[in-house]
Chain A
Amino acid sequence: MSLLELDSVSVFYGQTQALHEISLVVEPGEIVCLLGGNASGKSTTMKTILGLITPRSGEIRLAGERVTRSAPAARIRRGLASVPEARRVFPEMSVEDNLLTGAFTRRTGIRAELASVYESFPRLAERRRQPAGTLSGGEQQMLAFGRALMSAPTLICMDEPTMGLAPIFVDRVLDLIAALNRDRGLAVLMVEQNAELALSIAHRGYVLNTGHLVLDGPAPSLIDNPAIRTAYFGA
């Protein structure tokens, strides 16, 4: 059973159609990237999956169960988690409180999860009492990952995880994503501006252009595909 299925999902902002019958799947243990230029509908797709926007038509399923109109909390309980665009840690809360906030939808196993996140990211354990706003960009990205892990997800949605990071952190973050996928068996759905970087760790990719799904396939087949260039820069 697929972890996530979108079945001809259409989204409107007022009169404007932002997504045109998007269908996509994420299988267990996969890294899937969602590519496209500005205003292609990547972020809208992510928000729709997370439940921040309700589609006008189509269906969304998580682990086979329909969640098209469910609140974000219900989706998180079904294994979805989010690493928001630009990390969006809570700057005045401590590192530990940020992590606990990630476990908002859980009632049990929170302490064990916390210990496991600290084990994966010792840096966060060192800084657990520090306000998140005082961390470096790379550390904040780790915190955003850790916060997402706190709900014990099977699929993490990442919106531009490398955005605004120093170049040395970009590779480290990508390694981290690959490691989370490999070691924990986590599936990842990732939006990236930088198609080449994203495809270097992804298994499959979808390409969006002005709200239409124009291309999909295994990562290697997309890397040199001229259609990607079109999607980003126009015909």
Chain B
Amino acid sequence: MLDTALAGLVNGSSYALLALGLSLIFGVANVINFAHASVFAVGAMSGWWFSVDLDWPLWAVLLGVTAVTGLLGLVINVIAVTPLAKAPPIAALLSTFAVSVVVDNGAQLVFGPETRRFPALLATDNLGLGGLRFGTLDVTILVVAIGLMLVLGWFLRASRYGRAIRAVAQDRDAAAQMGIPLARVQNLAFVIASVLGGVAGVLGGMYLNNISPTVGSTVGMSAFAAATLGGLGSLPGAVAGGLLLGVVEAFGVSWWGGNARTLITFAVLLIVLWVRPSGLFGKRAPLAAEPMTGTFFGAARTVRLRPWQVAVAAVAAYVVPAVALDDYTVQIGVQVVVYAILALSLTLVSGQAGQISLGQAAPLAIGAYTSALLTTATGLDFWLSLPISGVVAAVLSVVLVSPSWRLRGHYVSIATLATGLLVAAAAVNFDWLTNGPSGVSAIPPPTLFGASVSAPLAVYFLDLTILLVVLLLVVRLRRSTLGRIWSAVREDEVAARSSGIAVADYKSLAFGIGGFVAGIGGALFAQQYGYIDPSVFGISVSLLALTIVVLGGLNSPLGAVVGAIVLVGLPEALRMLQETRMLTYGLLLLAVVLFRPQGLMGKVAR
């Protein structure tokens, strides 16, 4: 009991350090730094390198990590946040997300992707206190973490730049009029936050024992949950939220096993967002109007193709693979088509209705599991399972995301992110339904007129036909009254509400229809591979879908298809970038956000 609580506190102190950084950056730059988790990973990996390869003592490791991650924080701010200060907050959200992908995968290239042992550097079981066993390590982690918190607290209270940070967080304009250099203060906040994150990486690495370059993603999400639990922007809240979450997780893991950790984290995050989005300590309700799209994408006009051009492209999509391409290339075509369907669901949700979803893998996974389970366990025909998959994905999407409509801006995106991760965690944990981590196999191929649709070309034709139907649906929806209402919600939510539009319902409808489309895509996905497991629907799928639509043009249905060809098709076809593919996605997303926010298929309106 007590040792579980202590373990939770020790682990939670890493969360708290990370959450402090997130809250600090949120306060000063009004940005949720999605790259913050990667800073943790870099801290852990460089700490491992300093201590194992270079054999430095702990204090030198901490100093080295401070330098590395401090610099990293500065670079993140200068490259991905400062240039977008005048763009809507969605831009910084996407760019920091892109940076996190770049950093994680860059670290994989540098350090190698494998998981390795992080030496504890200190004894783990040499002390005792009234029956409670612990080690110098536990004490050191707690002392370093709490020491850093106290130093930070003192710095913010009593130093000149500490006051400046608080002033900027509370009123940027007024702070500027006091002669406070905003750019320098923001750099400083990023450096401090990243140093805390890097040190948390070392402490967390020692505690976890095993690390890999992608260790940040799970710990980082816990830190998000902790910061939100405490109240984003509140530093005492970040500490309390981190420690509390650490303890809750520790008890959850001791009762339900290690796989439960992520489920608990994301459930806590989602419940906090639903019930008390301002968190335990947040004073202000996070409802300040924060348009997520508006001019950033609103300025983009869709490139229109003439009907004959579309017809030619569609015919070519059928004919060319049939006559000219081998089976391998056609299979790539199938992948492109499925991702295009997923991306089209985002065109509706994020492009048309303006709600950025970072968790579109959720309806994809729900659709895939629904179809896979129905066709394997109950022997239901694929053609019946297809609409059912869409409906189940639609309903669950709405159920999971609609409680977040009280929120605005970044919070909605966090909620979608949590939804995506929660669904994947549920697939791992609910093994009575999903068969847990081992997944569902032997999914039968669909039959059409008595023949099995399993040859690559047949699957391709089937999926392509469904893609064209979905494309038609999306284009028609965008031109309908419903499409115009979604545009109104996207462009100016307040004005839309004043015009009598039930904004929340229309957002839910967007997620519902988008979820339906993604669910259909999921069913196709499951039948195509004949096998699915939870790892297939990770955050990288959500990221890829978002990158596809942002690259293609967030508000362009054709852009979704073009984006899928560019991002899914080309790398496969050219057999390039096996190791650097994710890195390339990240760099591409960053470049698009910084230099061509309207996407490939969008023009800037004059």
Contacts and interface: CB of A to CB of B under 8 A. Distances in A.
State whether these chains interact.
yes
A92 B170 contact: yes
Interface in B555-590: none
Contact of B181 (A50, A73, A92): A73
A102 B175 CA distance: 9
A52 B170 contact: no
Contacts of B170: 90-93
Contact of B166 (A82, A89, A90): A90
A19 B179 CA distance: 24
Interface residues of A, number: 24
Interface string B140-183: 00000000000000000000100110110011011111111100
A102 B179 CA distance: 8
Interface in A76-116: 76-77, 82, 84, 88-93, 97, 100-102, 104-105
A151 interface: yes
Contacts of B181: 71, 73
B166 A52 contact: no
Contacts of A101: 163-164, 167, 175, 178, 180
A72 interface: yes
A90 B163 CA distance: 10
A147 interface: yes
Interface residues of B, number: 17
Interface string A45-57: 0000010100000
B372 to A, nearest CB: 52
Interface string B473-492: 00000000000000000000
A74 to B, nearest CB: 8
A135 to B, nearest CB: 14
A128 to B, nearest CB: 14
A88 B163 contact: no
B179 A151 contact: yes
Give the residue among A52, A91, A92 with the most B Cβ atoms within 10 A.
A92
Contact of A72 (B160, B164, B179): B179
A71 B182 CA distance: 11
Interface in B164-221: 164, 166-167, 170-171, 173-181
Given A97-B163, A101-B163, A101-B164, A90 B174 contact: yes
Taking chain B's interface residues, is the majority helix, strand, or loop, or is none over half, making it mixed?
helix
Contacts of B160: 100, 104
Given A97-B163, A100-B163, A104-B164, A88 B179 contact: no
B176 A52 contact: yes
A161 to B, nearest CB: 14
B283 to A, nearest CB: 8
A211 B173 CA distance: 22
Contacts of B283: 92
B177 A104 contact: no
B179 A84 contact: no
B177 A72 contact: yes
Contacts of B173: 52, 84, 88
Contact of B177 (A52, A92, A100): A52
Nearest to A52: B176
Given A90-B171, A93-B170, A147 B178 contact: yes
Give the residue among B174, B178, B283 with the most A Cβ atoms within 10 A.
B178
Nearest to A110: B160
B173 to A, nearest CB: 7
Give the residue among B170, B176, B179 with the most A Cβ atoms within 10 A.
B179
Contacts of B177: 50, 52, 72, 82, 84, 88
Contacts of A90: 166-167, 170-171, 174-175
A75 B180 CA distance: 12
A149 to B, nearest CB: 12
B326 to A, nearest CB: 54
A84 B177 CA distance: 8
Interface of B: 160, 163-164, 166-167, 170-171, 173-181, 283
Given A76-B178, A89-B174, 6 more contacts: A82-B177, A91-B170, A92-B170, A97-B166, A104-B160, A104-B179
24 contacts: A52-B176, A71-B181, A72-B176, A72-B179, A76-B178, A76-B179, A77-B179, A82-B177, A82-B178, A84-B173, A88-B174, A88-B177, A89-B174, A90-B174, A90-B175, A92-B166, A92-B170, A93-B167, A100-B160, A100-B163, A101-B164, A104-B160, A104-B164, A151-B178
